[in-house]
Amino acid sequence: MSISRDAFNFVRELVHAESAIVLEPGKEYLVESRLLQLARQAGHDGVDGYVAHLSERRPSAGLRQVVEALTTNETSWFRDVDPFNTLKNTVFPALAANRTDRRLRVWAAACSSGQEPYSIAMTANDTPALAGWKVEILATDLSEEMLTKARAGEYSQLEVNRGMPASSLVRHFTRSGLNWRLNPAITQQVTFRQLNLVRPFPPMGRFDVVFLRNVLIYFDLPTKRDILRRVRQVMAPDGHLFLGAAEMTMGVDDAWERVPAGRSSVYRIREEQRACVPW
């Protein structure tokens, strides 16, 4: 039996209230498939009974599990390839030419189970212009479960098969039983922290590069606009923003401009807006 309308509406309202993610009608199958395992673990035969229990009792841990289950997105190593080639061949060298302290900071937002920030770390290690530099990567996500997995830096064979080049696997991983564990040279570059993008950012410092890829598509227009405005406040004036292929700033926050970079495009704060960005 498919999820009832009442159960779906409760879940979509909960998820929107906690994360601002919009679950449109037609996503009933997604909600049911994501929550069925949680329902069974809690002793319910189906999702409707589980959701009814949550709506009556409102246990904080159970509600948080629902939100995390519905906000965990697909991920892979070096996703879409081109952004990482652009990072290595264009963005990192350009930034290196304008930094005298030999230090760069990157923020990977909505990092899921860690493949993206670790891919950024490997890309930095493979960029000749950054030899001897300190590259710090902050990786954030809403889900504590995903962050725990990401911090472990250990992945199954199936997980490393999703986008990991064989040469990178050999150089940056060691065998750990049936799994693969990232070497400390990579994991030590990445710090993981829980963060909800729709709420005020905690003190984080300034970033030279921000990866906010395949995230904005889940939000309504006012939320997208607010997130992009707050991202500008933590960007270096000459910093670079990476969005997903289906995302753009046009019509959302026109303080950004899209600029070609390698075979891809990145976003930078418009010249006339840079004076508003604190150094």
Specify whether 34 is catalytic: yes
**Alpha carbon distance 85, 115 (integer Å):** 16
Residues 187-243 have pLDDT tens digits of: 999 999 999 998 999 999 999 999 999 889 888 899 999 999 999 999 999 999 999
Q: Which of 12, 34, 213, 268 is catalytic?
A: 34
Both tokens assigned to 15:
């998820």
pLDDT at 273: 75
Under 8 Å between Cβ of 222 and 193: no
Catalytic residue among 79, 105, 141, 213: 141
Q: Which domains does the chain have, with CATH numbers?
A: 5-71 (1.10.155.10), 82-276 (3.40.50.150)
Q: How confident is the model at residue 279 (pLDDT cuts 50, 70, 90)?
A: low
Q: How many C-beta atoms surround the C-beta of residue 118 within 10 A? A: 27
| pLDDT tens figures, 101-153 | 999 999 999 999 999 999 999 999 999 999 999 999 999 998 888 999 999 99
Strands 179-182 and 154-155, bridge-based pairing:
antiparallel
Nearest residue to 209 (alpha-carbon basis) of 88, 49, 126: 88
Q: Identify whether 162 is a catalytic site residue.
A: no
